[in-house]
Chains A and B, each alone.
Chain A
Amino acid sequence: MEPPRRSFLYKAFTLVVGAVLPLPAIAAAIAGLMNPLRPVVRQKQAPSGSVPIGKDVGYFATLDKEALQRAGGDPVRFAIIADRKDAWNVYPKSQIGAVWVQKISQSRLDFEQNWKPALLKSVLDKAPTDQKASIFEDLLEVEFSILKRQKEQDGKEWMPADGEKTRARYAKEFSQYKDAVDRIAAKPVWEGAFRVFNHSCPHAGCAVDFKKDDSGKPGYFCPCHDSVFAADGARSESSPSPRGLDRLRYGYNASQSLCVKFQEFKAGHAEQETQ
C-alpha cells in the first residue's frame, strides 16, 4: 500500500508533538542530575562550632597543644571535628577531616607567642655574637609570617606592596643583615612556629602518612600512588601529586590556644582551588 501523501506541515507537526511529549520528564530528570551544580548546593557552609579569629572568616578548629608538646618535633595528626551535613542528615560532632601539625622549633614558638613589635631586636641583643645572623634570619621569617597573619586576621589581603614595604622597612632597620632580609622577603611562604597541612593528598585525596625514609629523612608519603612530600610540604619531582601538600593557616584564639583554619582544596590541580 502506498503511504498516504500528506502535506509537509502535517509531518512536521507530528514530529514536533512527538519531540515535546517526553520533554517535561527529561527536563525534570536532568535538573535532578544537575542539582549538585547549583550554587546553593555547591557552596560549602562553614561547619558549625568554629572559633573565629579576628575578622578572618572560615572554620577554625582548636588543637590540643599538649599533644604537640609530647611529639617534640614530629608532626601530629589532629582530627577536625564539626557537624557534618550529608544530604538530608546532620551528623553532630563528626570528623570532617584531619590535619598534620608540626612545631618547627621551640625558639620560633617562644618568639611567636611572646611577640610584640620590638621583640626581634631585644632577642638579637641578648644572642651570642656568632649566632646573631642565623637567629635573625630564622626569627625574621616568623616575624614576617606574624605580620602577614595579623593583616589577614583583620579581614584584609596581604598584597605584594605590603611585602615590599615590609622588606624596605626591615632592610633599613637591620641594615647589617640586609641580605638576609632580602632572602626572607623573596620566600614564597613564610613559616611561623608551626607547619599545618591538610592530610589529603592533593593528587587524588588519599590520606598521607608521616614517615622517616631509610636514610632517616622525614617527610610525608601517600600510600596510594606513592607521592612523596618533604617536611615543608613540597612535592618531590617524581610525585604524581601536581602540587605540594595544602598548607593551612593557623592562629591563636583569645585564650592563646592554637587554632587552624580548616580548608579543603580540589585534588588533581596544580593550583589550589577551594572545593
Chain B
Amino acid sequence: MKVGFWIFIGVIVAGIVVGSVLKKSLDKGISQAFEQKLAAADKIEDLDARLAALKRLIAEDPPDDLKRRVYRKIAATMLSAKADTSGFVRFAWDALQSERGAGSRSELFYFIYSTRFEDENEIVTKLLELDRIQWWVYNYIAYEFFERGENLEVALRVAEKAIELSESKTDSAMCLDTRGAIYLRMGLYSNALSDLEKAVALLDEPDVEILKHLAEAYIRSGNKEKAFNTYRSILLLGEYDFARSAIDSLMDLQGVSPAERDQFERELWEERISSAKTIKPFTLRSAEGGDYEFKLPTPEVTLIALMSPT
C-alpha cells in the first residue's frame, strides 16, 4: 500500500517535471522563432514596409517581454529613421488604449514622454491616472525633474507612485533615493535623511549615487561627522572627485595636519584592499575566435568593461 502510494506520487511528480520541461522548450522555440521574425523585420530597408512588418508582429500578440521589444523597434523606426514624432505619439497613445502588458505599456509611455512632443504637465497628469505602468517609468521621470530642479511638488507625487510600485529591494532603494533627493532639493532635510538612510540600508552593495545624496543631506542638516564618514565610504568604492574634494574641505575645516592626512590615506587604502572581493578565474569566448582564460596571477592592472553595443 505504502509502496503503491509512493509510486503514484513519483509518477505525478515526474509528470509535472516533464510537463514543465516540455513547456519551457516549447516557449523557447516560440520565442526563438519570434526573435528571427523580429530580426528579419528590422532588416527591411523600406521604412514603411518595415513598420508594417513590425505592426504585424504586434498583431501576433507575443508575450509582453517580446512585444515591448517590437514597440522599441517601432519607436526607433518612427522617431529616428522616419523622424515622424507626431505619428509615433498618435500610434503609441492608440496602442496604450488596447495594450494589457505592463512592460509594453511602460515602454510605450516612456517613449511618448521622451519625445517631449506633448506638454510635460499634461503627460505627467495622464501618467498618474494610468494603470499597469511599471515603477521605473515613474522613477525615471521623478529623477529627471529632480535633476532639472523643476516641478518638485509633482516630482514628489511621481516618486511616491514609484515607491508604491517598486518590486524588489533594489528597486525600492532607487525610488527612495529619488524621493530623498527631491526632499533634499526642497530643503526638507529630515525627510531626505529618512529616505536616504533607508535606501542605503536596503542595498547589499553600496551605491555611490545614493551615498552622495546622503552625504549632502548630512552636510545640509549640519552633521559634518556623518557627512565625513559617508564621503569616506564613497572613497572606499573609488576615487570619486566630489567625495575627494568634500573630504579635503572637511579636513581643512577641522584643521587636520599633513601627518593625520597621510594616515587617513594609508588606512583608507588598506581598508579598500582588505574589503575588496576577489574575482574567480574564468574562461570566455573571444570575438577573435578561441577562448580567453583569466587566471591568477593577473596582469598588473586589469580593467573589465561589461557593456552592450548600444
Are A and B part of the same complex? no
Binding site for B on A (CB under 8 A): none
